[in-house]
Chains A and B, each alone.
Chain A
Amino acid sequence: MVEILDWVRWGLNHSDRVLMLTFEHLRLSLPAILASLLVSVPIAAAANRLRPLREVIVSGTGLLYAMPSLPLFIVLPIILGTGVRDMINVVVALTLFGISLMVRSAADGLAAVPEHIRLSATAQGFSPWRRFIGVDLPLAGPAMLAGLRVVSVSTISLVSVSAVLGVQSLGSLFTDGFQRSIVASIVIGILATALLALLMDLLLVLLGRLLMPWTQTARTSAGPVGRGRGR
């Protein structure tokens, strides 16, 4: 119990640093989460279009996830021509991991859009592009959101590893805490990372409800209608 008080006191005494590192953590993870979504959707759409290659593309990008994060943080600078401690490497590496998770859920979500809905959209005069934006994308939305939530949690937890290379993030609380034997620093770091992941998840769920209000109303309006039928 006394230890918990110590940790809280340490956290309060170092709140400035924890906040600054949280900000750095977000600066690395947010672009990666956004980029993996933006890159994955076209790849998934193309994979679905090229039937015979679909499994190759989806499994191939999935294989990226087998790449260990720390070595990737080290090898990427050579390919990109950046320094080892540059934050761009971390963002690119995290984006690659995000893509490896996201392409499958985007491809599955898009493939699950019923064919007759697609055909009727075309019959109503939707151009392929407008059909993709106005019909396919919203209908695949819930599946994509589920995938993006996994990407978000995994990215926020993976960022920390880059701290051993000297890139600042909440992971710096682990390396500092270890080198100076401060248990509170590591505990606060773990809690802050978990809290950040949780908040991002809540934010994504809220964003999903805002952008896809029908996933909400479908559930609430089904209630009274269902009951009415019973009577």
Chain B
Amino acid sequence: MNQLIEAVELLLTPETWTGATGMGARLLQHLQYTGLAVALAALIALPIGLAVGHSGVGRGPAVMITGVVRALPTLGLITLVALFAGLGLTAPMVALVILAVPSILAGAYSGVGSVDAPVVDAASAQGMSTWQVLWKVEVPLGLPIIIGGLRLAVLQVVATATLAAYVGSGGLGAPLFLGLRTYDYPLLLAASLVVIVLAITLEVVFALVQRVLRRALRGTS
């Protein structure tokens, strides 16, 4: 328990947060990694997911790939890519993107697929083009589930980005592994606590956004 108190004291010291390798800079890096990885994954997964959900083509393979990637141990993925890409940001970024793609993909195809068929038929009967049906009907109605996929991706990436420091990158994993190697338990604990608080904060924010979206949709329909 003393170590926990020391860790909290460390977090309450302003000097902990300042400087190029301070907790503040590490937190910012961590958020940058997360943002970049989720954005790249969304760029890959959203178009494919929306297309699969809209047309129903390739649903089987998409479900299978999602399952297989989820079973991959992330540490194995990161270290394997790191041996080929060398130390730095490339390896963790590749691994984080691979990790985030299945959740976003699953959210996109099940979101679009969850829209009632009569609603979609009615939209095309009114003369909407395929493109209009997708953007004006399927995406808005499936948005809570699509956001749900992004939420899961952010959650996994924030947690796993900690491992980036294991293969020589920054982020909140850097003070964590420094504490681990130098037996500096207060630092190790402090960094762990920051990651936990960050992950839970993001989760709560996303849950609120999803709830607001659901309410808004129910209001219009």
How big is chain B's contact interface, by range? 35 or more
Question: Given contacts A66-B199, A67-B200, A178-B83, are A163 and B75 in contact (CB under 8 A)?
Answer: yes
B70 contact from A66, A153, A165, Cβ within 8 A: A153
Within 8 A of B (CB), among A53-100: 63, 65-72, 74-75, 78, 84
Q: What separation, in Å, do the CA atoms of A193 and B70 have in the docked complex? A: 12
Residue pair A164, B75 in contact (C-beta under 8 Å): yes
Per-residue contact bits, chain A 144-162, to B (CB 8 Å; 1 contact, 0 not):
0000000001101110110
Residue pair B167, A178 in contact (C-beta under 8 Å): yes
| CB of B139, distance to nearest CB on chain A (Å) | 26
Residue pair B73, A171 in contact (C-beta under 8 Å): yes
List, in ascending order, chain A residues with CB within 8 A of B192's CB: 70-72, 74-75
Question: Given contacts A66-B200, A71-B192, A78-B3, are A165 and B77 in contact (CB under 8 A)?
Answer: no
**A22 within 8 A of partner (CB):** no
* Known contacts A74-B176, A78-B1, A186-B80; 16 further A-B pairs (Cβ under 8 A): A66-B200, A66-B203, A67-B199, A68-B199, A70-B162, A70-B173, A70-B192, A71-B195, A74-B188, A78-B4, A157-B70, A157-B73, A161-B74, A165-B180, A183-B84, A186-B79
Chain A, interface SS category: helix
List, in ascending order, chain B residues with CB within 8 A of A157's CB: 70-74
Residue pair A193, B76 in contact (C-beta under 8 Å): yes
**B82 within 8 A of partner (CB):** yes
Question: Given contacts A68-B159, A163-B75, A171-B75, are A183 and B196 in contact (CB under 8 A)?
Answer: no
Residue pair A70, B72 in contact (C-beta under 8 Å): no
Residue pair A68, B196 in contact (C-beta under 8 Å): yes
B residues near A, CB below 8 A?
1, 3-4, 70-77, 79-80, 82-84, 155, 158-160, 162-163, 166-167, 173, 176-177, 180, 185, 188-189, 191-193, 195-196, 199-200, 202-203
List, in ascending order, chain B residues with CB within 8 A of A71's CB: 162, 176, 191-193, 195-196
Q: What separation, in Å, do the CA atoms of A174 and B95 have in the docked complex? A: 14
How big is chain A's contact interface, by range? 35 or more
**A190 within 8 A of partner (CB):** yes
Q: What separation, in Å, do the CA atoms of A142 and B125 have in the docked complex? A: 41
List, in ascending order, chain A residues with CB within 8 A of B202's CB: 66
List, in ascending order, chain A residues with CB within 8 A of B77's CB: 190
Q: What separation, in Å, do the CA atoms of A84 and B72 have in the docked complex? A: 25
**A175 within 8 A of partner (CB):** yes
